[in-house]
């Protein structure tokens, strides 16, 4: 039976134990992530990324990058979706995302025009998958129309379905759906919002060739 005296002693002991520093917490998380990976308990690693577009979350499986999310999508919502659709063994493990974070930093700095990352397409299937594969080859600084992407994906009449696939792209920026515009040249929808889409196009225009329209 716990007595008031016992509770007071526990509180006094807890008060005398200093809280770990931010550096210590980071080190402990990294050690925990590495141990989980060694014991095959880490199926999805994720890490935050600072960017000119705001905070991002990038996640990867052992196969490759599986998700990139904007702040407006909500961190908890993104992690819950990963747990439900891929595996409940989702853990923050920045060291596992070092290459992805570096390449994203280089892209935003204008020093990278093509990502060398392996992609895990586990969150997309069927026609949506084909649309994103077609989108992935649009070069830096160029754009394509929704119709041309639908055609490249094998169904020229499925322009609306192509738009839905692009609006739900789980790996924006790396799979550059921001390079797909309406036939009249206007932006169209974007998972991160039209402002971010426009900012990405402006970034590429500033560091690469002038924006060009092309078919696929």
- The model's pLDDT over 123-179, given as tens digits with 9 standing for 90+, comes to 999 999 999 999 999 999 999 999 999 999 999 999 999 999 999 999 999 999 999
| Domains of the chain, earliest start first | 19-108 (3.30.160), 126-213 (1.10.10.10)
pLDDT at 25 (0 to 100): 46
In the residue annotation, 160 being an active-site residue is answered as no
Over 60: is that where the pLDDT of 36 sits?
no
- Quote the percentage of the chain above a pLDDT of 70: 77
Average pLDDT over residues 70-89: 96
Looking at per-residue pLDDT, the higher value among 19 and 163 belongs to 163
Name the band, by pLDDT with cuts 50, 70 and 90, for residue 207: confident
For residues 57 and 150, give the distance between their C-alpha atoms in angstroms, rounded to a whole number: 28
- Quote the percentage of the chain above a pLDDT of 90: 76
Q: What is the pTM of this model?
A: 0.79
**Of 115, 91, 70, 107, the residue nearest 204 (C-alpha):** 107
pLDDT at 59 (0 to 100): 98
State pLDDT tens for residues 84-116.
999 999 999 999 999 999 999 999 999 999 999
Over 70: is that where the pLDDT of 46 sits?
yes
For residues 167 and 173, give the distance between their C-alpha atoms in angstroms, rounded to a whole number: 12
Exactly one of 177, 181, 200, 201 is catalytic; name it: 177
């Amino acid at each position: 039976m716990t007595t008031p005296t016992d509770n007071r002693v526990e509180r006094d002991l807890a008060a005398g134990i200093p809280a770990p520093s931010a550096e210590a917490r980071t080190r402990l998380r990294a050690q925990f992530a590495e141990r989980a990976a060694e014991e095959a308990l880490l199926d999805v690693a994720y890490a935050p990324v600072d960017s000119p577009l705001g905070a991002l979350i990038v996640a990867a499986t052992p196969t490759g990058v599986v998700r990139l999310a904007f702040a407006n999508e909500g961190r908890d919502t993104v992690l819950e979706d990963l747990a439900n659709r891929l595996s409940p063994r989702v853990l923050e493990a920045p060291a596992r995302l070092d290459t992805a974070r570096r390449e994203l930093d280089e892209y935003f700095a204008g020093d990278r025009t093509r990502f060398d990352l392996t992609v895990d397409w586990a969150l997309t299937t069927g026609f949506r998958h084909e649309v994103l594969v077609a989108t992935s080859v649009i070069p830096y600084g160029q754009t394509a129309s929704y119709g041309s992407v639908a055609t490249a994906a094998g169904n020229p009449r499925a322009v609306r379905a192509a738009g839905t696939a692009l609006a739900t792209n789980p790996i924006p920026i790396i799979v550059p759906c921001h390079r797909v515009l309406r036939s009249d040249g206007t932006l169209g929808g974007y998972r991160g919002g039209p402002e971010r889409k426009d900012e990405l196009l402006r970034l590429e225009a500033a560091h690469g060739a002038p924006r060009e329209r092309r078919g696929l």
